[in-house]
Chain A
Amino acid sequence: MRRVFNSQTIREILRPLGQIVVFVTASGVVLSLLILLLALLLRGSAADQATIERNGMDIFTYTLVNLPQVLIDGVTIGFVYAAIALGYTMVYGVLEFINFAHSEIFAIGAFVGVEALIFLESAGMLSGASNLSAYLWLILAILLGMIAAGSVAILVEMSAYRPLRHAPRLVPLISAIGVSFFLQDAIRLIESLTTGQFHRIIPTFGNFDERFSLASIPYLGTNINLDIQVKSVWVIFAAILMLVGLNYLVNATKLGKAIRSVAQDQATASLMGINVNRIISLTFLIGGALGGAAGVLYALKFTRIDPFVGFFPGIKAFTAAVLGGIGNITGALLGGIVLGMLETFAGSYLNVFTVGAFGAEYKDILAFGILILVLIFRPSGLLGEQVGQKA
């Protein structure tokens, strides 16, 4: 047991934690400064007039007062994207192919977790549960979601990807899109047959909906409130745990070494006595399980799920993986946080800054526009692609 706490272990745990702190702070500070600068430039414009009329404060104050909430929302959704992006990036790192069915794996995790909670609620276990037992039930739901999503991911790999491993690149990609549709409708079918409807609502339990105040700073007659919901804390905490755990697994264990060696060279890895098929299955299992956990967290944060719930988070997580540099675990983390923040910033301020000409609906256009800009100047993502180096 002494080896568990050697210096490498500690390094592999601390390094991603450090990266998270750096990424969150850096992207938060950069975006906040940009938006405040923009607000300063817009002083005295029509947008400023409209804000004064509507909210009784000028545009700079408005931006500043809303900033903490926007940052917290952005970080929360960013971590969700990062957790999903891990699944894309791991598979890409090992097999160099995009597993488009990952968004449905995410949805399966969400459904299994939510159904488990609904079952617990109908069994009377959730109502009046103390906070501690509510947390335990949530952890149980997340674990069930992880198991289900992980096993489906392995099944998908064995049935839809393994027979095509030596086919041209496009073939498994199309197979993945097919699997994605198949899984969507399979969820729909199973849910319709068993529950009669396929839109599910996560039960309200525990103190997840409550919010606690971190700080309240008086500023020019208004208060800048800094408060956060319990469930957002859970989402962020769970995502950090997953990121750190995965990083440790890949970089500091024997299994991780095997994954990395398969990513570098499958033939040589198998000559060294590594069972390549098993390692690839394992990659899908880990990626799928992380996606499943993200699914349950997503349902917790946003209440409602349907069989198509995976589509947009999936696309965005994929984008996050590309933005950070696909195949790169750190990149997925950075990409997720940056994309989540960009999206929330755009959604929250577009309307005000353009005097209503562009609503929050246009947030994706702005976020993806910036993505295109980044990729023009850094085609392999912010941190660079890492294929054949690291899973």
Chain B
Amino acid sequence: MNKRLFPIISLLMIAAMILTACAGGGATGGGTIKIATQSPLSGGQSAIGVDIKNGAELALEQLKGPLEAMGFKVELAPYDDQANPDQGVANAKRIVADPEVLCVVGHYNSGVQIPSSEEYHTANLANVSPANTNPRVTDRGYAEVSRIVGRDDVQGVVGAQFAFGKGMKTAYVIHDKTAYGQGIAEFFKREAERLGMQVVGFEGTEEKANFDAILAPVLAANPDVLYFGGIYDQASVLFKQAREKGYLGMFLSDDGYDSPEAIKIGGAALLEGGGVYYTTVAGPAKLYPGTAKFQTDFKAKYNADPKPFAAQGYDSMAICLKAIENAAVANGNKLPTRAQVTEAVRALKDFPGITGTINFNAKGDLTTAKYFVIQVTSADPEKWNDNTIDQTLEIAPPQ
């Protein structure tokens, strides 16, 4: 390095450090609170992931008032987990390393949430999940992890009972090999067999385009219902190709199917024959009584109807904000620690969310969660929110 430059650069660096220290020090009167979101913002599942973030962003804007009144600066820190466990964990490490982050709204995919939340657990950082349904999300008993949606060991059962109720005798089950997809597919299979349905095939695949080989045995078996455990970007391509090959039975999937993109990919052919149904833990925002204002606000801000799980993103953020507020009040209006926020999340009683009144049990599950069975009725993605609700159930989590 140039000898004359070295002292100048050193001086600049020292100046920079002092400035940063000042900035940090100056804020201790109130301090900055960041709430991170983690969801797939790019890639095939971004349609849902972006709206989880947007829902959370809207909540932050509308509900940060009380915290700002205490002198805190409240910011959103959105992260893109790309629906990829590696990326989710890498982001989680960065989130945990940022001391200003006090709560995480996060993850669309259980397969991403489960490894990422190990990081939150180690750092005592509260994580409110808007969409993760795999039992392991809460079954690990982490005090940090709470979710505001139902569980797959119920959802899979709901799916199987629905198919059985529709008189289906044989089922072929395909899943995407992720913690989420395989998990729910196994719960579906177990319940279907318990009810006396015949499960003629059970297969996992990571294939995204060419389902010829997967579909050959399906067509040969010609099951009454083809169940897919996984996400819409794979499910719809599979369903579409199955119809093209002449399969006319019922398609049944899970809450991962809940996206207008699903019908955009699949097209009108899916609605023929046995039609398309899916079970979900969220459903369109209009299903919930408290979401009228949310829907108009969301539409005004993002110029589109909220997609499934946007309202859950909103509520997760609302829970984070409320818990931080309660913890701060308990802490004498000073910045609470992560552990205090974690406790405050679970301490919430009868929290009035837009998707319902929220109470957590000891594991972090809702004391009763909603489950829906929905039939896709229109090939127009704009009308996804108008799909027919076949069943609405409220079920407590298994102990």
Contact = CB atoms under 8 A, between A and B. Distances in A.
Contacts of A348: 212-213, 216-217
Nearest to A70: B216
Contact of A209 (B209, B237, B269): B269
A359 interface: yes
A365 to B, nearest CB: 13
B204 A359 contact: yes
A309 interface: yes
Contacts of B198: 54
Interface string A52-95: 00110000001001100110010001000000000000000000
Contacts, number: 102
Interface string B33-58: 00000000011101100000000000
Contact of A192 (B42, B206, B268): B42
B216 A55 contact: no
A229 B47 CA distance: 31
A298 B220 CA distance: 25
A227 B246 CA distance: 10
Contact of B208 (A62, A197, A304): A304
A352 to B, nearest CB: 6
B290 interface: no
Interface residues of B, number: 37
Interface in A271-326: 298, 301-306, 309
Interface in B338-363: none
A194 B216 CA distance: 38
A262 interface: no
Interface string B218-238: 011100000000000100010
Contacts of B42: 192, 197-198
A199 B217 contact: no
Given A197-B42, A351-B217, A77 B212 contact: yes
Contacts of B246: 211, 225, 227
Nearest to B267: A204
Interface string A315-357: 0000000000000000000000000000110111101100010
Given A198-B42, A227-B246, A351-B203, A54 B269 contact: no
A102 interface: no
B213 A343 contact: yes
A134 interface: no
Contact of B203 (A304, A349, A360): A360
A326 B245 CA distance: 34
B216 A209 contact: no
Contacts of A77: 210, 212
Contact of A197 (B46, B207, B210): B46
Given A198-B42, A209-B244, A62 B220 contact: yes
A363 interface: yes
Given A54-B200, A199-B44, A229-B244, A347 B213 contact: yes
Contacts of B202: 356
Nearest to A352: B217
B323 interface: no
B262 to A, nearest CB: 11
A349 B207 CA distance: 17
Interface size, A (range): 35 or more
B168 interface: no
A42 interface: no
A303 B211 CA distance: 11
Interface in B47-104: 47
Instruction: Kindly name the residue among B214, B244, B264 whose own CB sees the greatest number of chain A CB atoms within 10 A.
Output: B244
A201 B260 CA distance: 13
Contacts of A306: 43-44, 208
Given A197-B42, A199-B43, A209-B269, A360 B213 contact: yes
Instruction: Kindly name the residue among A69, A73, A201 whose own CB sees the greatest number of chain B CB atoms within 10 A.
Output: A201
A111 to B, nearest CB: 14
Given A211-B244, A351-B201, A361-B205, A73 B220 contact: no
B131 interface: no
Contacts of A309: 209
Instruction: Kindly name the residue among A66, A359, A360 whose own CB sees the greatest number of chain B CB atoms within 10 A.
Output: A360
Nearest to B216: A348
Interface in B184-211: 198, 200-210
A301 B200 CA distance: 27
B237 A347 contact: no
A284 to B, nearest CB: 26
B334 interface: no
A298 B210 CA distance: 9
A62 B237 CA distance: 26
Contacts of B206: 361
B265 interface: yes
Contact of A66 (B216, B267, B269): B216
Contacts of B241: 302-303
A266 B198 CA distance: 66
Interface string B239-250: 011001110000
Given A201-B264, A303-B209, A69 B221 contact: no
Interface string A356-391: 100111010000000000000000000000000000
A198 B43 contact: yes
Given A54-B221, A227-B246, A229-B244, A302 B213 contact: no
Contact of A360 (B205, B208, B264, B265): B205
Nearest to B208: A304
Contacts of A351: 201, 203, 217
Contacts of A201: 264-265
Contacts of B237: 302-304
Given A69-B219, A304-B44, A304-B208, 18 more contacts: A66-B216, A69-B245, A73-B213, A77-B210, A197-B46, A197-B47, A199-B43, A211-B245, A304-B265, A346-B213, A347-B214, A349-B216, A351-B201, A356-B202, A359-B205, A360-B213, A360-B214, A361-B205
Interface of B: 42-44, 46-47, 198, 200-210, 212-214, 216-217, 219-221, 233, 237, 240-241, 244-246, 264-265, 267-269
Closest 9 CB pairs of A and B: A347-B213, A348-B216, A302-B209, A199-B44, A73-B212, A204-B267, A360-B213, A54-B200, A359-B203
24 contacts: A54-B221, A55-B200, A55-B221, A62-B220, A65-B220, A66-B216, A73-B212, A197-B42, A198-B42, A209-B267, A209-B269, A211-B246, A227-B246, A303-B237, A303-B240, A304-B233, A343-B213, A344-B212, A347-B212, A347-B216, A351-B201, A359-B204, A360-B213, A361-B203
Interface of A: 54-55, 62, 65-66, 69-70, 73, 77, 192, 197-199, 201, 204, 209, 211, 225, 227, 229, 298, 301-306, 309, 343-344, 346-349, 351-352, 356, 359-361, 363
